[in-house]
Copies of this chain bind each other. A is one copy, B any other.
Amino acid sequence: MPIKHPHIPEEQRAEQAEGLNPDKKAFHELDSGTFRIARSTARIEGAAGRAAARVYRSLFGKPLATAQESQERLSTAKALPILASDNISSSAYATEEIMRVLALGGAAALTLAMPVSLALITVVAIVVISYTQIIRAYPQGGGSYNASRENLGDLPGLIAAASLLVDYVLTVAVSISAGVAALTSLMPTLYDLRVPIALLVIAVLVVGNLRGIRETGKLFSAPTYVYLVIIFGLIIYGIFRYQTGRLPEYTPPVDWLPAAASPLAFLLLVRAFSSGAVALTGVEAVSNGMKILQPPEQRNAKTTLILMAVLFGTIFIGIGYLSSHIGLIPDPHERETLLSQLARHITGEGLYYDLVQISTALLLLLAANTAFVGFPRMGMVLAADRFMPNQFAFRGRRLAPATGIVALGTLAAILIIIYGGSVTSLIPLYTVGVFLAFTLAQAGMIFYWRRHRERGWRVAMILNGFGAFVTGLVAIEVIVTKFTHGAWMVMVLIPVLVVIMKLVYHHYKQLGNQLRLDLGMPHRQYTSPRVAVVPIADLNQAVTGALAFARSLSTDVRAIHVADDLVKASKLRERWDEQVLDVPLLIIESPYRDWTGPLRQYVQALSRQDHDAPVAVVIPEFVPMRWWEHLLHSQSGLRLKMNLFTVENVVVIDIPYHVKTTLFGGPRH
């Protein structure tokens, strides 16, 4: 059926548009037929509603207009603390994780912490050099997902995306657990409360990010610099005291002492290396966040990346050197962190020790916050590519992608609850995804350079290829040694996520195909409804309103009363026959007291009689004035609508009856 309705000439539209604006104050005309609404206009009614809105607003702030979004660019000095916080903060727990494994080989094995740390620093250097080439290729900010998808195809891209999503969740869980551990090392009485504290911190981050924290403030560069100053001070002072023989003897609690040396020395080294590989998390942050850098982005990113690696490497080696030479033993109960032991051993329990703990906790909080920026942004990219539900693309009242923020907070909270806030238990889940994403991104670059053949492409290809090879080896090594410690979960989860993303894509694609209107294609048409069904519980004003509307839709109107008790029903029929003369009343006895089932079945039978004209169900509904009054009605209308929603060829029409009541005294008019 071709288009049959008359065309509106251009010149008439302006005139018509004028008539289409029912409220000139609220709707400001931008263009013919296009208006702008001044302000968020969700009306709030009732004292309780207004109080709730006040609480909501003080938590989440005033709404921000889309045009208010800023894209500030930062100098390297300001960008460094933000982009490097994730990586540098891993120095707070990486050494501890290495030594925790080595301790299984007896106290003597702890001296192997230095060689393991040096091996890891080598990997850091290889990955960093490789990433300088990714920065060259993607000056707009690449990210593992884009680099893998563009160069390797959809499937590797989705694997990288799934790995990154898992990583972001673990960044939050691990960083917050480690931050709380730094805090409870300082205040041991809080140890039993570490899970509630961690959950509270997540809640604060969720609310803060829904408000749309500006990452760019001084507030966000301070923790990194404070940590750097304090930790370098600690390391220098520690090395000075150690070299001059002024450090006291270290005596750990007796029950911390490792058992006799195990003979599996090499395997132990490999496992310690796997645990320490967590040191590489966050290395990719610079290549993802290039958009916040001032031009020349490429050079500034390179500077930031190398500075980050040098700072991290120095701290990591410093902590490793001091811990292994003092012979610190990690607390098997995770009551005190290794870094806390180290600081206490070097400086005693004074102000400096407190500063180390607090600045560590703050840096880890900042690191967790980076994931609250990265995960929702990743979600937006994936939603735009139709691999994730639409909701992830929606930006809330403060321009923050709310669904992603809430999803990340929820998942991280679940992990923290399951693992009781233990960093050591979370680490095996963390590292796998990080290295998978590294490997895919760098492997993708090999193909990129072969296609693009820019100046120096051969060197770049070799650097990325070597990086991919090394991180690939580490990925396999981590999967094998940590498989039974939790890495298997990630190995299951990543394919599951990939399948889900594929299903989501497929759904949206099919939906688009079915909904598409091709020019000249017949438009889907509904004729007027053939029959109008009015479900009724009683005969009252609300019902007569619905009947009147139903009469305007169809000449075949039927009232249906589902009855539990036929005696009551026959009384209703008597009243009906007296007062309603043109609409037949059908009574359906439902022996099982199910109200919606028989109605659904009746409507379904009607809709099957003729597929071309819809059945209209006209539902009379009470609308109480106050929220609590809704509790006094059984929401049967809502249940019926839900139930009819899935019946084809049925149009559901709500006829609201607004009930005006007073709290006490006579009825309002």
Q: Chain A residues in contact with chain B, CB under 8 A?
A: 3, 5-8, 13, 16-17, 20, 22-23, 26-27, 30, 33-37, 39-43, 45, 63-67, 389-391, 394-397, 399, 503-504, 506-508, 510-511, 513-517, 519, 523-528, 538-542, 544-545, 547-549, 551-553, 558, 564-566, 569, 573, 578-594, 596-598, 600-602, 604-606, 608-609, 614, 621-624, 629, 631-634, 641, 643, 645-646, 648, 650-664, 667
By a CB distance below 8 angstroms, the chain B residues around A646 are: 45, 623
A–B complex contacts, Cβ < 8 Å, 29 sampled? A3-B579, A8-B581, A8-B584, A13-B584, A27-B602, A27-B605, A30-B566, A30-B589, A33-B585, A34-B587, A34-B589, A35-B587, A40-B592, A42-B597, A63-B592, A63-B594, A64-B592, A504-B632, A506-B661, A510-B659, A513-B667, A514-B659, A514-B667, A515-B542, A517-B539, A517-B541, A523-B548, A645-B654, A652-B654
Residue of chain B at shortest CB distance from A587: B34
A40 vs B663: C-alpha distance when bound (angstroms) = 39
Task: Name the 8 nearest CB pairs between A and B, nearest first.
Answer: A5-B582, A515-B540, A23-B605, A22-B605, A65-B591, A523-B544, A36-B589, A7-B581
Is B591 touching A67 in the complex (CB atoms < 8 A)?
yes
Apart from A35-B587, A41-B601, A516-B540, list 18 A-B contacts with CB within 8 A: A5-B580, A5-B581, A6-B581, A6-B582, A22-B608, A30-B566, A30-B589, A36-B588, A37-B589, A37-B591, A39-B592, A43-B601, A511-B622, A515-B540, A515-B541, A517-B579, A524-B544, A526-B552
A591 vs B68: C-alpha distance when bound (angstroms) = 9
A260 vs B606: C-alpha distance when bound (angstroms) = 83
Taking A581-B8, A593-B394 as contacts, is the C-beta distance between A650 and B660 under 8 angstroms? no
A43 vs B601: C-alpha distance when bound (angstroms) = 8
Is A552 touching B581 in the complex (CB atoms < 8 A)?
no
By a CB distance below 8 angstroms, the chain B residues around A604 are: 43
A573 vs B664: C-alpha distance when bound (angstroms) = 52
A76 vs B11: C-alpha distance when bound (angstroms) = 92
Residue of chain B at shortest CB distance from A6: B582
Is B517 touching A34 in the complex (CB atoms < 8 A)?
no
By a CB distance below 8 angstroms, the chain B residues around A581 are: 3, 5-8
Residue of chain B at shortest CB distance from A26: B601
Residue of chain B at shortest CB distance from A45: B646
Is B633 touching A390 in the complex (CB atoms < 8 A)?
yes
By a CB distance below 8 angstroms, the chain B residues around A633 are: 389-390
Is B650 touching A656 in the complex (CB atoms < 8 A)?
yes
Is A591 touching B36 in the complex (CB atoms < 8 A)?
yes
A573 vs B34: C-alpha distance when bound (angstroms) = 10
Residue of chain B at shortest CB distance from A669: B514
A254 vs B657: C-alpha distance when bound (angstroms) = 71
Residue of chain B at shortest CB distance from A654: B652
Taking A3-B579, A651-B549 as contacts, is the C-beta distance between A517 and B503 under 8 angstroms? no
By a CB distance below 8 angstroms, the chain B residues around A389 are: 631-634
By a CB distance below 8 angstroms, the chain B residues around A645 are: 621, 623, 654, 656
A592 vs B656: C-alpha distance when bound (angstroms) = 29
Is B667 touching A390 in the complex (CB atoms < 8 A)?
no
Taking A545-B525, A586-B35, A633-B390 as contacts, is the C-beta distance between A66 and B591 under 8 angstroms? yes
A587 vs B37: C-alpha distance when bound (angstroms) = 10
By a CB distance below 8 angstroms, the chain B residues around A30 are: 566, 589
By a CB distance below 8 angstroms, the chain B residues around A45 are: 646
Taking A66-B591, A594-B42 as contacts, is the C-beta distance between A659 and B511 under 8 angstroms? yes
A248 vs B664: C-alpha distance when bound (angstroms) = 67
Nearest CB of B to A610, in Å: 10
A547 vs B4: C-alpha distance when bound (angstroms) = 13
A237 vs B24: C-alpha distance when bound (angstroms) = 92
Which of A17, A581, A583 has the most chain B CB atoms inside 10 A of its CB? Answer: A581
Taking A41-B601, A541-B524, A632-B504 as contacts, is the C-beta distance between A510 and B662 under 8 angstroms? yes
A45 vs B648: C-alpha distance when bound (angstroms) = 14
Nearest CB of B to A27, in Å: 7
Is B632 touching A390 in the complex (CB atoms < 8 A)?
yes
Is A593 touching B395 in the complex (CB atoms < 8 A)?
yes
Is B598 touching A41 in the complex (CB atoms < 8 A)?
yes
Nearest CB of B to A294, in Å: 28
Question: Of B22, B566, B569, B590, which is within 8 A of A609 by CB?
Answer: B22
A646 vs B43: C-alpha distance when bound (angstroms) = 10
By a CB distance below 8 angstroms, the chain B residues around A36 are: 588-591
Which of A43, A622, A664 has the most chain B CB atoms inside 10 A of its CB? Answer: A43
Taking A37-B590, A593-B394 as contacts, is the C-beta distance between A524 and B548 under 8 angstroms? yes
By a CB distance below 8 angstroms, the chain B residues around A527 are: 548, 552
Is A517 touching B545 in the complex (CB atoms < 8 A)?
no
Is B35 touching A606 in the complex (CB atoms < 8 A)?
no
By a CB distance below 8 angstroms, the chain B residues around A621 are: 645
Is B528 touching A514 in the complex (CB atoms < 8 A)?
no
A632 vs B505: C-alpha distance when bound (angstroms) = 10
A510 vs B65: C-alpha distance when bound (angstroms) = 44
Which of A64, A514, A525 has the most chain B CB atoms inside 10 A of its CB? Answer: A514
By a CB distance below 8 angstroms, the chain B residues around A523 are: 541, 544, 547-548, 579
By a CB distance below 8 angstroms, the chain B residues around A653 are: 651-654
Nearest CB of B to A68, in Å: 8
A489 vs B56: C-alpha distance when bound (angstroms) = 31
Nearest CB of B to A248, in Å: 41
Question: Of B20, B67, B397, B597, which is within 8 A of A558 by CB?
Answer: B20
A390 vs B622: C-alpha distance when bound (angstroms) = 14
Is A586 touching B37 in the complex (CB atoms < 8 A)?
no
A524 vs B545: C-alpha distance when bound (angstroms) = 5
A507 vs B659: C-alpha distance when bound (angstroms) = 10
By a CB distance below 8 angstroms, the chain B residues around A659 are: 510-511, 514
A513 vs B8: C-alpha distance when bound (angstroms) = 49
Residue of chain B at shortest CB distance from A388: B632
Is B667 touching A40 in the complex (CB atoms < 8 A)?
no
Question: Of B39, B544, B551, B566, which is within 8 A of A517 by CB?
Answer: B544
Is B584 touching A17 in the complex (CB atoms < 8 A)?
yes
